[in-house]
């Protein structure tokens, strides 16, 4: 019996001893998925494994793959024209992994809490815990800043689009190449008016604060489809190094309280973009394409627009093809400060777009500058004539025409693309 007691005591002692030793010698860092660095860290780990698209070779040489537990993260990017692309990233799955970072071994433990979910977003809680020897703890900040730099490098000079995930904003798809603002050809003066308004607004934070006015600005771009509303907003965001938070009011499961939360927690330096705002509320009840009625109410939307804490910056852009359907309560100052008509192609716009496409000189377009000048003048006259007869063409249709044809073909066939419009003339 004495031996038994002795052995038990010894075993317990050993366990306590190991725990104490662990505590003294090891140091852990916990990152949970509420923190931005969580995504950065997983991406950094995936990066250590090499590009997944390069296949297994890169994976075999990865320092952490010995763990055999991988998860795949797929980002699908759906473009407006219907095409989509998917990118895969292999990240460390739940379980234990070991990495060697600058000569120090680290244990990476990824855990998922299956019993409780994050309130409202429904995403399970996750943590990764990095454990290493105490003497190597100075490597943690280095590793994290490397991970952050990697994440930032991927986004530099790019436009990031966020979408709502429950009550959170998350980057959607890969960061996109910025579009030069001059590539969106609007009526002379329109782009400049919006640009200078927003720049003035951004310089007046203190002015708003001193007067206790909520620091927010709303823009409404209205006009027929394919006139460049969305393209302009994206280009403008890019030129100011802002991101875009795309808000879809018809999204299933979006309710007033979630909307309020989303609009009060927009990531820094982002525009909120609400497209086709008329479709969402034309009858003050909101119906998605398949007839599903979401629980965002019109008054809930107005509340969310107004309810941002003063001092916090909020810039919202709304687009619509039918401004006449909008409730006047939505377009009053404070909610929409600037409203601009972005119309079908005017003669001047058509000419400028034509010159952008074919005016690169003989080398690219196989057409002399003189000829470009001549044909663009013809096009300007055609658009003018057609407008006299109440017929218009969208900028998107012109773009399609110029992509598919050479200059002579484009001018010869363009009249077929004009349609009768009842929309307000210029």
Interacting residues with ligand ADP (CB under 6 A): 80, 184-186, 225-231, 319, 353, 395-396, 399
Cα 103 from Cα 129, distance rounded (Å):
19
Instruction: Using the minimum distance from each CB to ligand ADP, give the nearer residue, 109 or 179.
Output: 179
At 278, which helix (H) or strand (E)? Answer: helix 277-281
Q: Calculate the CA dihedral of residues 305, 311, 312, 317 and round it to 10 degrees.
A: 50
Instruction: Using the minimum distance from each CB to ligand ADP, give the nearer residue, 223 or 300.
Output: 223
- 278 close to 321: Cβ distance less than 8 angstroms: yes
Q: Give the nearest distance from C-beta 395 to ligand ADP in angstroms.
A: 3
Q: Give the nearest distance from C-beta 35 to ligand ADP in angstroms.
A: 35
Instruction: Using the minimum distance from each CB to ligand ADP, give the nearer residue, 99 or 277.
Output: 277
Instruction: Using the minimum distance from each CB to ligand ADP, give the nearer residue, 225 or 390.
Output: 225
Quickly count: other Cβ atoms within 10 Å of residue 369's Cβ: 14
Quickly count: other Cβ atoms within 10 Å of residue 363's Cβ: 6
Over the Cα atoms of the chain, what is R_g? Answer: 28
Instruction: Using the minimum distance from each CB to ligand ADP, give the nearer residue, 29 or 318.
Output: 318
| Residue whose pair of structure tokens reads 């013809």 in the numeric block | 378
Q: Give the nearest distance from C-beta 80 to ligand ADP in angstroms.
A: 6
Q: Give the nearest distance from C-beta 315 to ligand ADP in angstroms.
A: 18
Q: Give the nearest distance from C-beta 185 to ligand ADP in angstroms.
A: 4
- State which residue has the least CB distance to ligand ADP: 228
Bridge partners (DSSP) of residue 306 are: none
- 229 close to 327: Cβ distance less than 8 angstroms: no
Instruction: Using the minimum distance from each CB to ligand ADP, give the nearer residue, 184 or 259.
Output: 184
Nearest CA to 334 among 297, 294, 295, 307?
A: 307
Q: Give the nearest distance from C-beta 311 to ligand ADP in angstroms.
A: 32
Q: Please state whether beta strands 176-177 and 158-159 pair in parallel, antiparallel, or not at all (unpaired).
A: antiparallel
Cα 368 from Cα 362, distance rounded (Å):
5
Instruction: Using the minimum distance from each CB to ligand ADP, give the nearer residue, 33 or 231.
Output: 231
Helix axes 369-388, 347-358, angle to 10 degrees: 150
Instruction: Using the minimum distance from each CB to ligand ADP, give the nearer residue, 216 or 222.
Output: 222
Instruction: Calculate the CA 361 to chain-centre distance.
Output: 36
Cα 242 from Cα 234, distance rounded (Å):
9
Q: Give the nearest distance from C-beta 398 to ligand ADP in angstroms.
A: 8
């Amino acid at each position: 019996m004495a031996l038994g007691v002795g052995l038990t005591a010894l075993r317990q002692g050993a366990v306590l001893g190991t725990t104490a030793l662990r505590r003294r010698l090891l140091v852990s860092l916990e990152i949970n998925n509420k923190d931005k660095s969580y995504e950065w860290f997983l991406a950094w780990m995936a990066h250590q494994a090499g590009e997944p698209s390069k296949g297994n070779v890169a994976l075999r040489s990865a320092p952490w793959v010995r763990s055999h537990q991988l998860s795949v993260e797929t980002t699908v990017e759906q473009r407006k024209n219907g095409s989509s692309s998917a990118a895969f990233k292999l990240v460390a799955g739940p379980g234990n992994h070991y990495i060697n970072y600058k000569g120090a071994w680290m244990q990476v433990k990824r855990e998922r809490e299956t019993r409780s979910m994050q309130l409202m977003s429904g995403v399970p809680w996750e943590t990764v815990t990095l454990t290493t020897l105490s003497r190597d703890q100075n490597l943690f900040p280095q590793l994290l800043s490397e991970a952050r730099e990697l994440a930032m490098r991927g986004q530099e000079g790019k436009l990031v689009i966020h979408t709502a995930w429950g009550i959170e904003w998350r980057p959607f798809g890969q960061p996109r190449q910025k579009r030069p603002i001059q590539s969106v050809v609007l009526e002379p003066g329109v782009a400049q008016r919006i640009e200078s308004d927003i720049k003035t607004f951004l310089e007046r934070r203190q002015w708003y604060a001193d007067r206790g006015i909520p620091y927010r600005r709303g823009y409404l771009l209205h006009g027929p489809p394919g006139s460049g509303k969305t393209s302009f907003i994206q280009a403008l965001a890019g030129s100011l190094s802002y991101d875009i938070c795309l808000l879809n009011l018809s999204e299933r499961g979006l309710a007033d309280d979630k909307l309020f939360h989303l609009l009060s927690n927009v990531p820094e330096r982002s525009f909120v973009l609400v497209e086709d705002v008329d479709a969402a509320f034309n009858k003050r009840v909101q119906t998605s394409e398949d007839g599903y009625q979401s629980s965002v109410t019109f008054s809930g939307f107005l509340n969310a627009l107004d309810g941002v804490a003063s001092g916090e910056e909020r810039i919202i852009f709304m687009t619509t093809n039918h401004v006449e359907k909008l409730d006047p309560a939505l377009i009053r100052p404070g909610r929409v400060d600037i409203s601009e008509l972005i119309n079908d192609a005017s003669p001047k716009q058509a000419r400028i777009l034509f010159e952008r496409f074919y005016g690169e000189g003989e080398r690219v377009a196989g057409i002399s500058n003189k000829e470009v000048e001549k044909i663009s003048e013809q096009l300007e006259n055609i658009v003018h004539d057609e407008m006299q007869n109440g017929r218009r063409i969208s900028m998107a249709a012109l773009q399609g025409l110029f992509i598919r044809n050479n200059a002579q073909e484009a001018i010869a066939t363009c009249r077929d693309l004009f349609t009768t419009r009842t929309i307000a003339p210029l």
